[in-house]
Amino acid sequence: MKKRLGAIIYRTLKNDLTFDEIMDVIEIPKAKQFGDYSFPCFVLAAVYKKNPHQIALELEGKFHDEFITQAAAAGPYINFRLNREIVSMECLQTIGPYQSAEKTKVMTIDFSSPNIAKPFSMGHLRSTVIGQAIANLGERCGYNVIRINHIGDWGTQFGKLIAAYKRWGNEESVKENPIQELFRLYVKFHEEAAVFSDLIEEGRSWFKRLEDGDTDALKLWKWFREVSLEDFQRVYKLLGVQFDAYNGEAFYNDQLSHISDLLEERGLLKHSEGAMVVPLDNVNLPPCLIRKSDGATLYATRDLAAAFYRKETYKFNKSLYVVGMEQSMHFKQVFAVVEKMGFSWHKDIHHIPFGFILKDGKKMSTRKGKIVLLEKVIKETISAAKANIEMKNPELENKDEVASAVGVGAIIFHDLKNDRTTNIEFSLDEMLKFEGETGPYVQYTHARACSLLRKGSGIKSEKTRALTDEHSWEVQKLLVQYGQVIQSSFEKYDPSILAKYLLHVSRVFNSYYAKVKILEGNQSLTSRLLLVQSVRDVLKDGLSILGIKAPEKM
């Protein structure tokens, strides 16, 4: 609808503005009495050398198209009312699951990325579910998406863990409960190191042995990695998340010298207090540290190696990194180095930052053992959903399957309904709510639509007629925006746009359900059922993009 209106305005203005400039300013009025869309004439003030109110008055009678029933000046705006007959027929006949564009481009997306030998905590949830949703949006918008889990499996923390295992660990305890035992050792190391500072050097020594290929150190590291990945898979299965590659930091060990050579060849590496850096004064950034004075590589070196590997292997058109906001400077430096090296694809790599999940107003700390285990939270929400079903619909089929869909959906939606850049305070009570602005509310609305369609399936159908009453119009206006919402969510890398839209559709549809006798036998019955079907399809499709299942019964 917006594009069609934009084309009419563009034609009427006779090229005074570009089509994109017009599309950028068309808006939906806050109050529905002002119409369906508004065009602010401020953007024409400089062109016509008149005040916006005068421009609106002069233009209001010049829009001639059957798609518009009214164009009225209101202050500096022109408010448009659309032809409900035309919009309704298009909505009822075409709205449904968003048709994916032909996949002609490649996008890599790096998300989740937990550290091995540490529990999968609530702190890892945001990257995982935001990344999954953006990956799904990318697929709908014409990309072959490569999902990458850049596991944290290298660095001095593994020297610390090996030192802790050698001092206090035993094989049987790790085999019996791998992640919990390794995590206990990691926390104990930091507690002891606060008292006995020589432990820090011991940890560094073990990491040096690991880097040098020491057999004992490598054997333990590989074991820790294997049991960690097995544990992660259990959580990913609960969330319905899959990856195409698990190439972690260690994968790039043999590619680091190539990065140093490339930088050396281009004369970009400089000595700084014994370390090797790439100066970035040209873009007002601190120097990017490539090698420390002892020759050790850093995150930047590995992320450069990963960027080049992904470009060469996947030939991406777009490469995304869904990593916390605290890493923003790091990625600015890495991307600036790629640009300074002369590679034009630096403009195709993007950091997608997000805020923290806080506990009592503070970031969760793995080192201090202050975390909330994600798997525990998932199981608690599923259990709460099961109890809710037992109380409200004890005869429901597939209760366990529905409880899992509702419990996991509650967690994912609770995250994705928030703007990704905001911090979220962890609250199990909030996640366990099944009413209001929640995933279960959207799922229940979908189930309600399915129920109506089941009840209406045996009723004799009539031909499709336009629905032009006020209640139907509010639903249809929203439904025809679905494709635009998908595009906007992807372009802004913000799944909350889609999540909020699904909440809006649910609220408006439930209002429609309360005010209109949908199954009443009259000439518009077929059209009303088609409208219900469109709502069902949009809710199911939108939830699936967010990584949430849509049960047909709840």
* The predicted structure's pLDDT at residue 135: 98
Q: What CATH number does the domain containing 187 carry?
A: 3.40.50.620
Q: Predicted confidence band at 289 (pLDDT cuts at 50, 70, 90)? A: very high
Give the contacts of 520 (CB within 8 A, at least 6 positions apart): none
In this structure, the answer to whether residues 381 and 355 fall within a common structural domain is no
In this structure, the answer to whether residues 309 and 218 fall within a common structural domain is yes
- Can you list the positions of beta strands (E) in 197-331? 270-272, 275-278, 288-291, 318-322
Q: What CATH number does the domain containing 460 carry?
A: 1.10.730.10
Q: Predicted confidence band at 75 (pLDDT cuts at 50, 70, 90)? A: very high
Q: What CATH number does the domain containing 44 carry?
A: 3.30.1360.70
Say if residue 310's pLDDT is above 70: yes
Tokens of 474: 């509010």
> Letter for the amino acid at 297?
T
Q: Predicted confidence band at 265 (pLDDT cuts at 50, 70, 90)? A: very high
In this structure, the answer to whether residues 535 and 392 fall within a common structural domain is yes
**pLDDT tens, position by position, 461-509:** 678 899 999 999 999 999 999 999 999 999 999 999 999 999 999 999 9
Cβ atoms of 325 and 272 within 8 Å: the answer is no
Say if residue 357's pLDDT is above 70: yes
| Nearest Cα to Cα of residue 143 among 110, 98, 97, 102 | 102
Residue 285 falls inside a structural domain: no
| % of the chain beyond a pLDDT of 70 | 97
CA–CA separation, 25 vs 151, rounded Å? Answer: 43
* The predicted structure's pLDDT at residue 361: 74
Q: What is the mean pLDDT of residues 288-304?
A: 84
Residue 275 falls inside a structural domain: no
- How many Å is the maximal CA-CA distance in the chain? 84
* The predicted structure's pLDDT at residue 365: 58
The three-state secondary structure class of 147 is strand
* The predicted structure's pLDDT at residue 413: 96
98 against 198, higher pLDDT: 198
Phi-psi region of 151 (alpha: psi -120 to 50; beta: other; left: phi over 0): beta
Residue 284 falls inside a structural domain: no
**pLDDT tens, position by position, 92-102:** 888 777 777 78
Question: Which residue among 82, 113, 142 closes a domain?
Answer: 82
Residue 68 falls inside a structural domain: yes
Sheet holding 77-82, edge to edge: 37-40, 77-82, 68-74
In this structure, the answer to whether residues 137 and 162 fall within a common structural domain is yes
Question: Which residue among 329, 359, 389 closes a domain?
Answer: 359
Angle at 134 between CA 129 and CA 140, to 5 degrees: 130
Quote the domain boundaries for residue 415.
Answer: 375-546
Residue 235 falls inside a structural domain: yes
Reported as type and span, the H/E element at residue 71 is strand 68-74
In this structure, the answer to whether residues 55 and 29 fall within a common structural domain is yes
Residue 465 falls inside a structural domain: yes
In this structure, the answer to whether residues 13 and 160 fall within a common structural domain is no
* pTM score, whole prediction: 0.92
Q: Predicted confidence band at 367 (pLDDT cuts at 50, 70, 90)? A: low
In this structure, the answer to whether residues 244 and 149 fall within a common structural domain is yes
In this structure, the answer to whether residues 43 and 169 fall within a common structural domain is no
Please state the φ and ψ torsions of residue 366, each to the nearest 5 degrees: -70, -40
CA–CA separation, 358 vs 363, rounded Å? Answer: 5
In this structure, the answer to whether residues 355 and 386 fall within a common structural domain is no
Cβ atoms of 278 and 272 within 8 Å: the answer is no
Say if residue 368's pLDDT is above 60: no
Angle at 252 between CA 263 and CA 336, to 5 degrees: 40
CA–CA separation, 439 vs 411, rounded Å? Answer: 8
Q: Predicted confidence band at 156 (pLDDT cuts at 50, 70, 90)? A: confident
- Can you list the positions of beta strands (E) in 75-185? 77-82, 105-110, 143-148
Residue 460 falls inside a structural domain: yes
* Total structural domains within the chain: 3
Which CB contacts under 8 angstroms, 24+ apart, belong to 209-218?
209/159, 210/158, 210/159, 210/162, 211/296, 217/162
Cβ atoms of 130 and 322 within 8 Å: the answer is yes
What mean pLDDT, rounded, does the chain reach?
A: 92
**pLDDT tens, position by position, 404-442:** 999 999 999 999 999 999 998 878 778 777 778 999 999
In this structure, the answer to whether residues 73 and 120 fall within a common structural domain is no
Q: Predicted confidence band at 386 (pLDDT cuts at 50, 70, 90)? A: very high
Q: What is the mean pLDDT of residues 340-367?
A: 86
In this structure, the answer to whether residues 496 and 406 fall within a common structural domain is yes
Residue 278 falls inside a structural domain: no
Which of 70-74, 81-85, 463-467 shows the lowest mean pLDDT across its residues?
Answer: 463-467
**What secondary structure, in 3-state letters, does 181-231 show?**
HHHHHHHHHHHHHCCCCHHHHHHHHHHHHHHCCCHHHHHHHHHHHHHHHHH
Question: Which residue among 330, 359, 388 closes a domain?
Answer: 359
> Letter for the amino acid at 417?
K
In this structure, the answer to whether residues 251 and 327 fall within a common structural domain is yes
